[in-house]
């Protein structure tokens, strides 16, 4: 989705070949913001070969030391290129050689300015908790019921007498560490710290394939991730210091979809908090996200409508053919026919033109073929939420551009009311984005520029609501 497309744009790796540079730029550091994310180019001299070397850092994404495959510096310009993704940056120097103005090009040219700096700017994340803590923090591992997945986790337990309520934090789409680290923010660490300071234990877990957690990811769906959460529930029930009657779930984004799934599989769940979770179908979520992204890229309403029609056709094909080997040739033929009827200008905006057109099409096909995509697109919250009778709190940011507050909160209200749930509540926080930060636009590119990790009012709202439960 949006976040993933930004990630793939910036993660650059390759071997160094044919590097050239002028001595006056060795060493040097160049920094700019690409689609709101900082990108740093570091040029230095290899200690052994004495040849110039260069790497990209994407600090907002936690990616460092990513090798440049080709570097060229002249009196007028600098270019850094990655052969692995067939993309890179080229810019012209200003008069005093302190700034480069040019474009990042990976099929589509994006205007990009880099400035020479003495050192890369540091992230400011004032909410990140710092030890010592007024609660016990325990790093641990446990297995699932079939001993096929090992989970790495951290449990924070309030220093109080008696058993305490406990929540499991469930992350959104894309594999994340136990702190849900994104753009230097650690929202799950912030949530765990606040809740445990207020008498609630918290289990936060590395996702499959991340950190200390094992497990296969490529074929996994949200249903598989629900079973991962069940392993955490079983672990918590085995502990004597937890109140097994007060095990709750807090899920962010896709985690807000997974949490209700878990509750349909286990009677041990006492309550659910959904943070920007989907209250409408997965296919509708994807459609709205795509439309918003294309508007940001300057596509007209007519162009967006045309792509919507393509999406609907591909969705129906995916539903008809469950076997990817059957779907692939039909998918490719459908794409080929659609592309042939689009203008070059439209294809350029969509990234389906130039040397990377075939790669863009392959990436789109790969996304459609993923078991995760098939499951998410078919997900209907009405079916799952019809079974949810436990207390349910759904929260959303009013400036969320990924999971829109109005439609999704209305969906939760409708489905839970039909289910006969007697204890549910929905709340919108007008100034917050998808990550529950105070935002100006709510766009993804803004996330990394905001120092706030998670709105304190939302933290207080969760604690107050959980403690109010009998």
Query: What CATH number corresponds to the domain at position 237?
Result: 3.40.50.1820
In a domain, 360, yes or no: yes
Q: How confident is the model at residue 43 (pLDDT cuts 50, 70, 90)?
A: confident
Provide mean pLDDT across the span 110-131: 90
In a domain, 291, yes or no: yes
Token pair belonging to 370: 């993923």
Q: Which is more confidently placed, 13 or 311?
A: 311
Q: In the predicted model, is pLDDT for residue 366 greater than 60?
A: yes
Give mean pLDDT, residues 383-407. 97
On the question of pLDDT at 9 being above 60, the answer is no
Tokens of 11: 């993660």
Between CA 299 and CA 305, with CA 304 as vertex, the angle to 5 degrees is 150
Q: Which of 68, 89, 117 is the last residue of a domain?
A: 117
The answer to whether residues 32 and 79 belong to one domain is yes
CATH number for the domain spanning 72: value is 2.40.128
Whether 224 and 156 map to the same domain: the answer is yes
Lowest mean pLDDT among 194-198, 415-419, 440-444: 440-444
Distance CA 371, CA 174 (A): 14
User: Most confidently modeled of 30-39, 81-90, 323-332, 453-462?
Assistant: 453-462
Q: Are residues 242 and 338 in the same domain?
A: no
| Residue 205 host element (H or E) | strand 201-205
Give this prediction's pTM.
0.81
**What distance in Å separates the CA atoms of residue 374 and residue 367, rounded to the nearest whole number?**
9
Looking at the structure, tell me whether residues 288 and 435 fall in a common domain.
no
In 269-388, the DSSP E strands lie at 269-275
- Counting the structural domains of the chain, the total is 3
The mean per-residue pLDDT over the stretch 87-98 comes to 90
What pLDDT shows up at residue 66? 76
CA–CA separation, 195 and 467 (whole Å):
11
What distance in Å separates the CA atoms of residue 37 and residue 30, rounded to the nearest whole number? 14
271 is a domain residue: yes
Other beta carbons within 10 angstroms of residue 380's beta carbon come to 14
Q: What is the dihedral of CA 11, 12, 14, 18, to 10 degrees?
A: -170
Residue after which a domain boundary falls, among 344, 376, 408: 376
Residue the block writes with tokens 């041990």:
268
pLDDT at 297: 81
The mean pLDDT value for 221-244 works out to: 96
Q: Is residue 46 part of a domain?
A: yes
Domain of 65, in residue numbers: 2-117
pLDDT of residue 18 exceeding 60, the answer is no
Q: With respect to residue 123, please indicate whether it lies within any of the assigned structural domains.
A: no
Residues 351 and 105: their CA atoms lie apart, in Å, by 11
pLDDT class for 296, splitting at 50, 70, 90? Answer: confident
- Conformation bin of residue 97: beta by default, left when phi > 0, alpha when psi is -120 to 50: left
**Average pLDDT of 437-459?**
94
For residue 211, what are the CA distances in angstroms to 4, 153, 167, 203, 360?
19, 9, 21, 15, 30
Binning pLDDT at 50, 70 and 90, where does residue 382 land? very high
Q: Is residue 204 part of a domain?
A: yes
The verdict on residue 446 lying in a domain is yes
pLDDT of residue 2: 45
pLDDT given for residue 23 in this prediction: 58
> Are 58 and 199 members of one domain?
no
Task: Identify whether 127 is part of a domain.
Answer: no
Say whether both 230 and 365 belong to one domain: no
Domain boundary residue, one of 86, 117, 148: 117
CA distance 352 to 4: 18
pLDDT at position 457 is 99
| One domain, residues 220 and 346 | no
Regarding whether 401 and 390 lie in a shared domain, the answer is yes
Q: Are residues 275 and 334 in the same domain?
A: no
Between these two residues, 448 and 279, which has the higher pLDDT value?
Answer: 279
* 131: number of Cβ within 10 Å: 5
| 128 pLDDT above the threshold of 90 | yes
Q: What is d(CA 370, CA 366) in angstroms, rounded to the nearest whole number?
A: 6
Q: Tens digits of per-residue pLDDT, 93-113?
A: 999 899 999 998 876 788 999
Give the Cα separation of 363 and 84 in Å (integer): 15
| 309 and 357 assigned to the same domain | yes
| One domain for residues 390 and 367 | no
Residue 362 pLDDT more than 70? yes
Mean pLDDT across 115-134: 90
User: Looking at residue 100, what is its pLDDT?
Assistant: 94
- At residue 69, the pLDDT reads 86
Verify that 253 and 383 share a domain, yes or no: yes
Banded pLDDT at 62 (limits 50, 70, 90):
low
């Amino acid at each position: 989705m949006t976040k993933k497309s930004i990630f793939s744009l910036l993660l650059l790796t390759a071997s160094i070949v044919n590097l050239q540079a002028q001595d006056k730029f060795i060493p040097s550091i160049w920094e700019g913001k690409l689609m709101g994310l900082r990108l740093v180019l570091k040029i230095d001299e290899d200690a052994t070969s004495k040849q110039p070397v260069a790497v990209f850092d994407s600090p907002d994404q936690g990616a460092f030391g990513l090798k440049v495959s080709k570097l060229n510096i002249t009196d007028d310009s600098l270019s850094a290129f990655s052969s692995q993704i067939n993309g890179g940056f080229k810019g012209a120097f200003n008069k005093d050689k302190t700034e480069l103005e040019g474009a990042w090009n990976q099929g589509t040219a994006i205007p990009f300015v880099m400035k020479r700096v003495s050192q890369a700017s540091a992230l400011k994340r004032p909410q990140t908790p710092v030890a010592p803590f007024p609660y016990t923090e325990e790093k641990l591992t446990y297995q699932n019921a079939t001993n096929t997945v090992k989970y790495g986790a951290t449990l924070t337990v309030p220093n109080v007498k008696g058993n305490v309520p406990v929540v499991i934090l469930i992350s959104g789409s894309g594999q994340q560490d136990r702190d849900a680290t994104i753009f230097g923010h650690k929202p799950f660490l912030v949530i765990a710290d606040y809740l445990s300071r207020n008498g609630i234990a918290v289990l936060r877990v590395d996702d499959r394939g991340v950190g200390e957690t094992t497990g296969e990811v490529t074929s996994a769906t949200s249903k598989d991730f629900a079973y991962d959460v069940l392993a955490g529930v079983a672990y918590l029930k085995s502990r004597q210091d937890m109140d097994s009657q007060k095990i709750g779930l807090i899920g962010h984004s896709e985690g807000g979809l997974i949490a209700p799934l878990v509750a349909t599989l286990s009677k041990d769940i006492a309550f659910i908090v959904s943070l920007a979770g989907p209250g409408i179908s997965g296919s509708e979520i994807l459609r709205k996200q795509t439309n918003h992204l294309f508007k940001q890229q300057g596509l007209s309403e007519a162009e967006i409508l045309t792509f919507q029609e393509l999406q609907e056709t591909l969705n129906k094909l995916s539903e008809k053919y469950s076997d990817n080997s059957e779907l692939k040739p039909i998918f490719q033929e459908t794409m080929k026919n659609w592309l042939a009827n689009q203008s070059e200008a439209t294809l350029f905006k969509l990234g389906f033109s130039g040397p990377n057109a075939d790669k863009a099409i392959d990436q789109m096909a790969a996304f459609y073929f993923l078991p995760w995509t098939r499951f998410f697109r078919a997900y209907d919250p009405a079916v799952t939420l019809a079974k949810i009778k436990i207390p349910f709190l759904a929260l959303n940011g009013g400036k969320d551009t990924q999971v829109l507050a109005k439609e999704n909160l209305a969906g939760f209200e409708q489905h839970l009311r039909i289910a006969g749930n007697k204890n549910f509540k929905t709340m919108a926080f007008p100034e917050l984005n998808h990550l529950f930060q105070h935002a100006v636009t709510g766009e993804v590119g803004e996330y990394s520029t905001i120092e706030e990790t998670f709105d304190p009012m939302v933290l207080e709202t969760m604690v107050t609501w959980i403690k109010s439960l009998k």
